[in-house]
């Protein structure tokens, strides 16, 4: 299968960074934007000043409002927009093509993972999931980054990883799509919690305890959903959980800090917060845990705080008062 040309849908921070990584790997890239004005601005300046200010984009990237064909399709819109985007695309564009899902979130209403949305909307597409510790700014600037790329066909996934790999972007091929995408979605929920710990000044010990217990909870969720808990030892699990749960660069962590400082979700959103996928995913993950009968006290705690059903002090007291148990 030819893997020369790439179309990236979604010209936010992550879509632009993945376009840049693809261009660094030697691919010819179409970055699909929503308006001609956006396309003109990006092509004239060789930069996406809205999404990634100050970052020069490689000449192999052309911004467009549409594309008729590409060997590799990357979807990089927010998790809640993936279905709408897929509704608008010509099914022939995706048919028998590798489609890489890069959003990290679960769909409100359906509780669906990104690859379930793709299977629903474009059953002939060959779904892959890309996740791992990777801030858009780092990837676009060529700072060393490693991610997981999971798909069902081992040979194709390895070929895709090779087609996107560059001197500073290293995708590891894997086969556990469920584990990779559940990890990517849930780490945003835990990043809200860790940010809240910081915002409420509960201390570094609390944050590390939270990360370790989040890992255990995530393993229960992945297992219950049919993925492999072993996947969590890798980039999409441990790698992204530690990055997002400890870095103030993370938008989810920043949102959590605002919650921890006493802000309410609606106020923080109204104040112009950047995209924090965990806000939409927390109630979905909580519903999923209930439907699977998985014990998920941390997801429940984040859900309660995000929905303003409880304050941080109350959920922390509740977590600390849970019956003592053996660690494993």
Ligand X SMILES: NC(=O)C1=CN([C@@H]2O[C@H](COP(=O)(O)OP(=O)(O)OC[C@H]3O[C@@H](n4cnc5c(N)ncnc54)[C@H](OP(=O)(O)O)[C@@H]3O)[C@@H](O)[C@H]2O)C=CC1
Ligand Y SMILES: O=C(CO)COP(=O)(O)O
Q: Residue with the closest Cβ to ligand X?
A: 12
Flag whether 250 is marked binding: yes
Contact between 257 and ligand Y by CB under 6 A: the answer reads: no
57-78 residues labelled b (16+ CB within 10 A) or e (exposed): beebbbbbeebeebbbbbbbbb
- Of the residues 64, 97, 187, 325, only one is catalytic, namely 187
- Dist. CA 169–CA 227, nearest whole Å: 25
Flag whether 15 is marked binding: yes
Residue 15 or 263: the one with the smaller Cβ distance to ligand X is: 15
103 binds, among ligand Y, ligand X, none (CB under 5 to 8 A by kind): ligand X
Residue ranges in 112-167 assigned as alpha helix (H): 114-121, 136-141, 154-164
Do 128 and 148 contact (CB within 8 A), yes or no?
Answer: no
Flag whether 11 is marked binding: yes
Q: What H or E segment, with its residue span, contains residue 299?
A: helix 297-306
Residue 141 or 292: the one with the smaller Cβ distance to ligand Y is: 141
Binding pattern for the stretch 119-138 against ligand Y, x by CB under 6 A and - elsewhere: --------------xxx---
Residue 193 or 315: the one with the smaller Cβ distance to ligand X is: 193
Contact between 191 and ligand Y by CB under 6 A: the answer reads: yes
Residue 219 or 280: the one with the smaller Cβ distance to ligand X is: 280
Catalytic annotation present for 187: yes
Flag whether 14 is marked binding: yes
Structure tokens at 137: 């700014």
Which residues from 99-118 bind ligand Y, rule CB under 6 A?
A: 104
Structure tokens at 168: 């500073």
In angstroms, give the least distance from the CB of 273 to ligand Y. 11
Site residue total, ligand Y (CB under 6 A): 13
Residue 94 or 276: the one with the smaller Cβ distance to ligand Y is: 276
Flag whether 134 is marked binding: yes
Q: What H or E segment, with its residue span, contains residue 30?
A: strand 28-32
**Of 33-41, 150-158, 164-172, 248-256: span binding ligand Y (CB under 6 A):** 248-256
Flag whether 64 is marked binding: no
15 binds, among ligand X, ligand Y, none (CB under 5 to 8 A by kind): ligand X
Residue 18 or 39: the one with the smaller Cβ distance to ligand Y is: 18
What's the residue count for the chain? 328
Pairing of strands 98-101, 72-75: parallel
- Dist. CA 256–CA 107, nearest whole Å: 20
In angstroms, give the least distance from the CB of 54 to ligand Y. 17
Do 25 and 4 contact (CB within 8 A), yes or no?
Answer: no
The SS3 call for residue 81 is: helix
Residues that bind ligand X (CB under 6 A): 10-15, 34, 51, 76-79, 81, 84-85, 102-105, 134-136, 275, 277
Instruction: For Cα atoms 264, 270, 272, give the angle at the middle one, nearest 5 degrees.
Output: 115
Q: Find the distance separating the first CA and the last CA of the chain, reported in whole Å.
A: 45
- Dist. CA 42–CA 18, nearest whole Å: 15
**Of 32-40, 200-208, 240-248, 316-324: span binding ligand Y (CB under 6 A):** 240-248
Flag whether 34 is marked binding: yes
Dihedral of CA atoms 157, 176, 139, 160 in degrees, nearest 10, equals 0
State the catalytic residues: 187
Could you list the residues that contact ligand Y (CB under 6 A)?
Answer: 104, 133-135, 188, 191, 240, 243-244, 250-252, 277
> Binding site membership for substrate: which residues?
104, 251-252
> Binding site membership for NADPH: which residues?
14, 34, 104, 136, 251, 275, 277
């Amino acid at each position: 299968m030819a893997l020369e040309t790439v179309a990236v849908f979604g010209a936010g921070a992550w879509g632009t960074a993945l376009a840049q990584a693809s261009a660094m790997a030697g691919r010819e890239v179409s970055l699909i934007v929503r308006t001609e004005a956006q396309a003109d601005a990006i092509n004239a300046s060789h930069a996406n000043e809205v999404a990634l200010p100050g970052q020069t984009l490689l000449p192999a990237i052309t911004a467009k409002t549409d594309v008729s064909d590409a060997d590799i399709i990357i979807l990089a819109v927010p998790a809640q927009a993936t279905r709408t985007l897929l509704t608008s695309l010509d099914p022939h564009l995706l048919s028998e093509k590798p489609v890489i899902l890069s959003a990290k979130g679960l769909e409100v209403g359906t509780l669906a993972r990104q690859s379930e949305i793709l299977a629903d909307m474009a059953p002939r597409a060959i779904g892959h999931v890309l996740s791992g510790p990777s801030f858009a700014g780092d990837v676009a600037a060529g700072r060393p980054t490693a991610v997981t790329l999971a798909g069902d066909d081992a040979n194709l996934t390895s070929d895709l990883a090779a087609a996107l790999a560059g001197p500073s972007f290293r995708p590891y091929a894997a086969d556990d799509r469920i584990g990779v995408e559940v990890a990517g979605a849930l780490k945003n929920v835990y990043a809200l919690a860790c940010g809240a710990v910081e915002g409420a000044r509960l201390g570094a010990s609390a944050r590390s305890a939270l990360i370790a217990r989040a890992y255990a909870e995530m393993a229960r969720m992945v297992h219950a959903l049919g993925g492999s808990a072993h996947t969590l030892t890798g980039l999409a699990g441990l790698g992204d959980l530690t990055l997002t749960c400890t870095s103030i660069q993370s938008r989810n962590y920043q949102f959590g800090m605002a919650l921890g400082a006493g802000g309410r979700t609606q106020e923080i959103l109204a104040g112009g917060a950047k995209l924090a996928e965990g806000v939409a995913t927390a109630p979905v993950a909580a519903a999923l845990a209930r439907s699977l009968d998985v014990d998920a006290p941390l997801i429940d705690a984040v859900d309660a705080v995000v929905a303003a059903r409880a304050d941080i002090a109350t959920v922390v007291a509740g977590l600390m008062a849970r019956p003592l148990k053996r660690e494993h």
